[in-house]
Amino acid sequence: MNNLTKKLPLIVTSSAIVLTLAVVIVWQSGIISNFEQALKKKDKELVLVSQQRDVQVAENRVLNAKLKIYQDSVAFLQVENQQLKQKIEEQKATILNLNQSIKKQEDRVAKLTTEINRLEDTGRHNEKKINELAQERDKLLVEMEQLDRDREALKKSNEEKDRIAAENKEKIQKWNSKMEAADPAPVMPPAPIINQSPVEPATQSGPQVSAEMENAIKNRQQERLKNVLTKTTVRFSTVSLKNRENGNELKKIKEDGWRFTFIDFDLENIDRESIIDETFILQVFDLDHQVVVPYNEKNPTYPESEMGAIGYKFKYDGKPVSVRYINTQKKEGGNYEIRLIYTKGDLTFKVANGSMKIVENGQVVVR
């Protein structure tokens, strides 16, 4: 009995310890279960955030591609407007010179007419001198007529360039609006790490680009585009005009024009990679009527079709290009040139060093 009495406190203590351990184990099991549920919830949240971020990255990639096209388009329009402005100023100076030449010839014609009238009043013995002065006057009048046509053509050309420049300004505004609409949203930062210490909060900063870097990127893009437009040169190796595919080369254009234009050429650029896989259009262009001679002329049955209406479209792969340009329709003009057009998206621009005159006043002038 005494032994039992002595062991009783030990038994009670052991039981208490066991009971306490059981309570602690149950409590910890509940905590672990809650923690596991929290982990699963966080894992799901992480997956969702990761998926959303992937979607946003993909959308931004598309928007960046659109932005590049818009930036390219604006850069091209700005370069073209600069060239148009320069050309207009040059043609204004030419018109001024023509005005002065025509004025001098008008004064000379007036003097010749006065002298002819005076000689006619003095009698027949001045008939030879009268004829000489009349011939000189007639020659001046013919020259004046040609100068006047040249002047009017330049005026119309300037009006057309002014119109194109105004359209380009509108397009620039449109592309700028599209660039604002297509501006990519900031990419969501990576999701916070769930087991991170409260003392070390999750990093919230995503990839960022400074304003200076953005400007540098934009400037590089514009320089590349300007390079394609202004430093691409067409090297024509063979150009011939024929009425029959296997016929003789023409030296003079007949009343109804010609049918075949065979053109072999290659493109050159200091930065050759900048023009590889770019899209160009080769055109035979009527300078008198300011229209493209269609490549494989339009089908009258389908007047709205654009098939060949803009010229021969091709993607440059770094190799020489051969074009068999056929058009059997009557050609109304007397002056034609070959010109290369660079196309980007739905915009087209004339390459600065990509033209060559092939017909002048009805005469073939191919070198």
Q: Kindly report, residue by residue over 49-70, the tens digit of the pLDDT.
A: 777 777 777 767 767 766 666 6
Confidence of residue 309 (pLDDT cuts 50, 70, 90): confident
Residue 113 has pLDDT above 70, yes or no: yes
Residue 102 has pLDDT above 90, yes or no: no
Residue 191 has pLDDT above 70, yes or no: no
Check if the beta carbon of residue 229 is closer than 8 Å to that of residue 349.
Answer: yes
Confidence of residue 221 (pLDDT cuts 50, 70, 90): low
Residue 268 has pLDDT above 60, yes or no: yes
CA distance 62 to 182: 9
Helix (H, G, I), strand (E, B) or coil at 199: coil
Pick the most confident of 97-101, 225-229, 344-348: 97-101
Q: What is the pLDDT of residue 348?
A: 80
Question: Which two structure tokens, joined as six digits, stand for 277?
Answer: 């896989």
Beta-carbon contacts of 56 under 8 Å, excluding residues fewer than 6 positions away, are 185, 187, 188
CA distance 252 to 329: 17
**Sequence spans of domains, the chain:** 18-186, 225-364
Residue 262 has pLDDT above 90, yes or no: yes
DSSP label at residue 262: E
pLDDT digits (tens, 9 = 90+) for 341-352: 998 776 788 888
Residue 27 has pLDDT above 70, yes or no: no
Confidence of residue 204 (pLDDT cuts 50, 70, 90): very low
Check if the beta carbon of residue 282 is closer than 8 Å to that of residue 312.
Answer: yes
CA distance 292 to 158: 19
Domain covering 225-364: architecture: Sandwich (2.60)
Pick the most confident of 61-70, 130-139, 278-287, 321-330: 278-287
Q: What is the pLDDT of residue 200?
A: 41
How many C-beta atoms surround the C-beta of residue 165 within 10 A? 17
30 CB burial (10 A radius; 0-12, 13-18, 19+): exposed
3-class DSSP string for 9-26: HHHHHHHHHHHHHHHHHH
254 strand-pairing partners? 257
Residue 1 has pLDDT above 60, yes or no: no
Q: What is the pLDDT of residue 329?
A: 84
Confidence of residue 18 (pLDDT cuts 50, 70, 90): low
CA dist 82 → 36, 114, 149, 160, 355 (Å): 67, 48, 27, 15, 18
- Range 18-186 classified under CATH 1.20.120: yes
Q: What is the pLDDT of residue 356?
A: 94
CA distance 159 to 96: 16
Full-model pTM: 0.45
Helix (H, G, I), strand (E, B) or coil at 250: coil
pLDDT digits (tens, 9 = 90+) for 282-301: 999 999 988 899 886 555 54
Q: Which residue has the higher pLDDT, 6 or 50?
A: 50
Identical fold for domains 18-186 and 225-364, yes or no, is: no
Helix (H, G, I), strand (E, B) or coil at 344: strand
CA distance 96 to 87: 14
Identity of the amino acid at 45? E
Q: What is the pLDDT of residue 203?
A: 44
Residue 126 has pLDDT above 90, yes or no: no
For the chain, state the CA radius of gyration.
40
Helix (H, G, I), strand (E, B) or coil at 358: strand
Residue of 270, 274, 272, 250 whose CA lies nearest to 260:
250
